[in-house]
Structure 1
Amino acid sequence: AEVVQIRCGRLTTDFCIGQVVVRVDQEQLVAAAGKKAAGKAVHVTEYVVFQRVVSDPSSPWSIYGKLAVPQWDK
């Protein structure tokens, strides 16, 4: 995994959020439904967005969403 972007924004005077985009490269097993085969390993690249309320020290990091893989990264 690799951090590709870090952003922080202040929405009000006392409310700030932080976002981190992480590129995840992994091999995933893909199997057809109803087949007894073990599956085929496929390379997958995902961009996962994590978000946290920075102004709240007890706020946990959570997955905010995923981004589409950019054309230049295919």
Structure 2
Amino acid sequence: MTLGHKHRLRIRTLDRQKIEADIYVDMPTGFGRVMDCLNQPMKYYTFFVPDYVLYIHPQFILSVQD
């Protein structure tokens, strides 16, 4: 199974938590930023932090920095 390329992100959630996590994506042509991929309709996004896998609903994410 291929996960894609690893990208480190800083996420701020609605409850003001700051999370530094990894996401693995293969960005299609025309998508220059990981945030462009996060704008695609999904039920949840999968993020990896040490010892955990986080599944976060897009509406729970306030901001993303790469």
- TM (norm. structure 1) is 0.24
